Amino acid sequence: MVEPGGAGQGGDDKAYLWRLHRIFALYVVGVAAFLILMAWAEQQGLSRHWIGPIFLFLTVMVYAGIGVYGRTTDPEEYYVAGRRIPPVYNGMAAAADWMSAASFISLSGALYLQGFSGTRGQAGGLAYLLGWTGGFCLVAMLIAPHLRAMGLYTVPDFFHVRFGGRWPRIIAALAAVLCSFTYVVAQIYGVGLIASRLTGVQFEIGIMLGLGGVLLCSFLGGMRAITWTQVAQYVVLLLAFLIPVSWLAYKQLGNPLAPLVYGTQLGKIADLEERLLDSPAEHQVVVAYLRRAQDYEARLKDVEGALEREREKARERVRTLRDQNADVGLIVSASRELVALPRDAVSARERWTREMRENYERARPLGGLPLHSQAYAGNPDGSPHERQEYELTRRNFLALMFCLMVGTAGLPHLLTRYYTSPTVAAARSSVAWSLFFIALLYLSAPALAVLVKFEVMQNLVGSSFDTLPSWMAQWARVDASLLSVEDVNGDGLVQFGEIRLGADLIMLATPELGGLPYVVSGLVAAGGLAAALSTADGLLLTISNALVRDLYYRGAPREASPEQRVILTKFTLLSVALAAAFVAALKPAEILPLVSASFSLAASAFVPVMVLGIFWRGTTRQGAVAGMLAGLGVAVYYMLSHVAAMRAWVGWLLADGLWFGIQPISAGVFGVPAGLIVAAVVSRITRPAPALPVVRSEM
Partner 1 sequence: MQPLKKIHEPELAGPFPPDMHDVRHLWLKGGLLLAWALVSFVAAYFARDLQAFVVAGWPLGHWIAAQGAVLMFIAIVVVYCWAMNRFERQDAARMAALTIERAPSHG
Residues 145-164 that bind partner 1 (CB under 8 A): 145-146, 149-152, 161-162
- Looking only at residues 432 through 471 of this chain, which bind partner 1 when binding is defined by CB under 8 A? 432-433, 435-436, 439, 442-443, 446
- Decide: is 305 part of the binding site for partner 1 (CB under 8 A): no
> Which member of 27, 79, 112, 136 binds partner 1 (CB under 8 A)?
136
Residue 198 to residue 187: CA distance in whole angstroms? 17
| Cβ at position 117, least distance to partner 1 in Å | 8
Closest to partner 1 by CB, 428 or 500: 428
CA–CA dist 47, 45 (Å, integer): 6
Shortest Å, Cβ 432 to partner 1: 5
Q: Does 96 bind partner 1 (CB under 8 A)?
A: no
**Closer residue to partner 1 in complex, CB, 148/292:** 148
Q: Closest distance between partner 1 and the C-beta of residue 687, in Å? A: 12
Shortest distance, position 358 Cβ to partner 1, whole Å: 29
Q: How far apart are CA 526 and CA 277, in angstroms?
A: 38
Of the candidate spans 240-248, 301-309, 419-427, 585-593, the one that interacts with partner 1 by CB under 8 A turns out to be 419-427
According to CB under 8 A, which residues from 7 to 26 bind partner 1?
A: 9-10, 13, 16-17
Q: Where are the alpha helices (DSSP H) in 302-344?
A: 303-323, 328-340
Residue 483 phi, psi (nearest 5): -150, 130
Q: Is 397 in the site for partner 1 (CB under 8 A)?
A: yes
Which of 156, 210, 422, 664 lies at the binding interface for partner 1 (CB under 8 A)? 422
Number of amino acids touching partner 1 (CB under 8 A)? 76
Is 252 among the residues that bind partner 1 (CB under 8 A)? no
> In 3D, which of 585, 586, 604 has the Cα closest to residue 596?
604
For residue 493, the 8-state DSSP code is B
Nearer residue to partner 1 within complex by CB, 445 or 602: 445
Strand pairing partners for 500?
Answer: 484
Q: Does 574 bind partner 1 (CB under 8 A)?
A: no
Indicate the SS3 state at residue 561.
Answer: coil
Select 130 or 243, whichever has its Cβ closest to partner 1. Answer: 130
What residues contact residue 445 under an 8 Å CB cut-off, 6+ apart? 103, 107, 108, 111, 129, 241
* Minimal distance, residue 340 CB to partner 1, in Å: 43
Least Å distance, CB 666 to partner 1, is: 14
Q: Are 103 and 404 in contact (CB under 8 A)?
A: no
Q: How far is the CB of 94 from partner 1 (least distance, A)?
A: 12
The dihedral of CA 365, 371, 372, 375: what is its sign? negative
Which of 67, 70, 86, 365 forms a contact with partner 1 (CB under 8 A)?
Answer: 86
Segment contacting partner 1 (CB under 8 A): 41-49, 227-235, 417-425, 602-610? 417-425
Residues 343, 349, 351, CA angle at the centre, nearest 5°? 75
* Amino acid identity for residue 471 in this structure: W
699 lies in the binding site for partner 1 (CB under 8 A): yes
691 belongs to the binding site for partner 1 (CB under 8 A): yes
Whichever of 72 and 108 has its CB closer to partner 1, that residue is 108
Burial class (CB in 10 A: 0-12, 13-18, 19+), 185: buried
Q: Does 128 bind partner 1 (CB under 8 A)?
A: no
The single residue among 398, 476, 567, 574 that binds partner 1, judged by CB under 8 A, is 398
**Shortest Cβ 374–partner 1 spacing (Å):** 7
Q: Residue 279 Cβ, how far from partner 1 at the closest point, in Å?
A: 24
CA-to-CA dists, residue 554 to 154, 167, 416, angstroms: 12, 11, 18
Among 216, 401, 508, 634, binds partner 1 (CB under 8 A): 401
Per-residue burial over 141-151, b = 16 or more CB atoms within 10 Å of its CB, e = otherwise: ebbbbbbbeee
Q: Which of 75, 134, 256, 368 binds partner 1 (CB under 8 A)?
A: 134
Site residues for partner 1, 612-641, by CB under 8 A, read 613-615, 617, 619
Q: Which one of 226, 431, 584, 597 is in contact with partner 1 (CB under 8 A)?
A: 431
225 with 72: CB under 8 angstroms? yes
How does DSSP classify residue 689?
A: P
- Is residue 111 within 8 Å of residue 129, measured between CB atoms? yes
Query: Is the CB of 182 or the CB of 545 nearer to partner 1?
Result: 545
d(CA 546, CA 22): 35
As a whole number of angstroms, the distance between CA 621 and CA 623 comes to 5
Instruction: Label the pairing between strands 483-485 and 499-501.
Output: antiparallel
User: What are the Cα distances from residue 419, in Å, to 66, 180, 404?
Assistant: 21, 18, 22
